[in-house]
């Protein structure tokens, strides 16, 4: 009994460690999502990350670069929009993979003690599956968080377009209108746009080119379209206003359609859950009668 309790304590500690290592990044990302930050430069965006994890990830990155291995562009875009560094993501994937390797062994250890032994093949296969699932879990969580952040960013871009159009109507030029509109809020998306425009001013490039590069970095098509429109009609303020207003209206309609689609999907899921509850309740009611008739 003491050995079984000890094994259970070890398994519980291992599961707790896995949860803390794997879910900490997602919890931190959700926490930062609802915070207002003054600056989202690279140093500020990564300041919440563990220095030890970043050092481990830096070693992994150098190893991968030396072997010519690069992460997919979509993963890099997800890291950019969530404000996480590539080093921390690599370290989280490695840590989760190692944890996934040992969790099946810790779980099967008490079973082997109670039953008298477990075939060696089973822990090996489960550990390999655990390594694969653990290594992919941070990427799956990153993809989910990045999708939510991109949805928020698109909502901000539609408001940003309206603000730029209003500043253009007030007689400002395109660069001044972009800078003034970006300074209206300290939300993370507005701050990201503001940092991009400030970097463009310091580097001597056009603001729309910088916004296009930001769209490529974050994989947001609306920013790319905005940069293209501003580059084409930067000299004609009236056409810029009309174009920006039309794009803002189109983005809001698209966002409304997506929201309605998600609501319908959740309604269908809720309906299926209610139907399953009704079926289970009916089975619970009819089982005694059916069992008595069939002599079970």
Q: 215-258 pLDDT, tens per residue?
A: 888 888 888 888 887 777 665 555 666 777 777 787 778 778 87
Q: In this structure, are 35 and 133 located in the same domain?
A: yes
146 and 180 in a single domain? The answer is no
Tokens encoding 22: 């794997």
Per-residue 3-state assignment (H helix, E strand, C coil) for 139-202: HHHHHHHHHHHHHHHHHHHHHHHHHHHHHHHCCCCHHHHHHHHHCCCCCHHHHHHHHHHHHHHH
Please check whether residues 223 and 95 belong to one and the same domain: no
Specify whether 23 is located in the same domain as 148. yes
Q: State the pLDDT at residue 116.
A: 66
Are 13 and 142 members of one domain? Answer: yes
Same domain, 17 and 115: yes
Q: Is residue 20 in a domain?
A: yes
Based on the fold, state whether residues 23 and 122 are members of the same structural domain.
yes
Q: Which domain holds residue 239?
A: 155-248
- Residue pLDDT tens, the chain, 296 long: 444 444 455 555 556 555 665 555 444 544 444 333 333 444 445 555 567 777 887 888 888 888 888 888 888 888 888 888 888 888 888 888 888 888 888 877 777 666 766 676 777 888 888 889 888 988 899 898 888 888 888 888 888 888 888 887 777 777 888 888 888 888 888 888 888 888 888 888 888 888 888 888 888 888 888 888 777 766 555 566 677 777 778 777 877 887 788 777 778 777 787 888 888 888 888 878 777 887 75
Q: 148 with 159, same domain? A: no
Domain boundary among 131, 152, 173: 152
Query: Among residues 130, 152, 174, which one ends one of the domains?
Result: 152
User: Tell me, what DSSP letter sits at residue 39?
Assistant: -
What is the reported pLDDT for 1?
Answer: 47
Q: Are residues 110 and 20 in the same domain?
A: yes
Q: Within this chain, do residues 178 and 61 fall inside the same structural domain, yes or no? A: no
Asked whether residue 7 falls in the same domain as residue 138, the answer is yes
State residue 13's pLDDT score: 58
In a domain, 113, yes or no: yes
Structural domain total, the chain: 2
The model's pTM is: 0.64
CA 121, 124, 130, 132 torsion: positive or negative? negative
Left, alpha or beta for 248 (phi > 0: left; psi -120 to 50: alpha)? alpha
């Amino acid at each position: 009994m003491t050995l079984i309790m000890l094994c259970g304590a070890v398994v519980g500690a291992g599961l707790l460690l896995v949860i803390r290592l794997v879910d900490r990044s997602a919890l931190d990302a959700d926490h930062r999502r609802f915070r207002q930050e003054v600056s989202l430069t690279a140093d500020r965006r990564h300041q919440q990350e563990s220095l030890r994890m970043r050092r481990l990830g830096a070693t992994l990155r150098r190893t991968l670069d030396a072997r010519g291995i690069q992460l997919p562009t979509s993963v890099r875009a997800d890291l950019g929009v969530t404000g996480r560094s590539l080093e921390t993501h690599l370290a989280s994937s490695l840590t989760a993979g190692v944890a996934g390797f040992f969790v099946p062994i810790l779980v099967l250890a008490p079973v082997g003690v109670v039953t008298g032994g477990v075939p060696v093949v089973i822990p090996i296969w489960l550990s390999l599956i655990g390594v694969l699932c653990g290594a992919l879990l941070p990427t799956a969580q990153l993809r989910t968080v990045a999708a939510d952040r991109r949805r928020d960013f698109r909502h901000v871009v539609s408001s940003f377009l309206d603000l730029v159009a209003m500043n253009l109507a007030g007689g400002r030029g395109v660069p001044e209108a972009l800078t003034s509109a970006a300074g209206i809020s300290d939300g993370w998306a507005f701050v990201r746009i503001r940092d991009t425009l400030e970097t463009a001013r310091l580097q001597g490039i056009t603001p729309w080119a910088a916004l296009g590069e930001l769209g490529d970095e974050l994989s947001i098509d609306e920013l790319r379209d905005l940069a293209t429109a501003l580059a084409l009609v930067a000299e004609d303020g009236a056409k810029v206003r009309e174009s920006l207003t039309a794009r803002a209206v189109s983005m809001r309609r698209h966002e409304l359609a997506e929201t309605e689609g998600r609501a319908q999907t959740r309604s269908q899921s809720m309906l299926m859950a209610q139907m399953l509850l009704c079926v289970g309740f009916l089975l619970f009611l009819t089982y005694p009668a059916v069992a008595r008739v069939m002599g079970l």
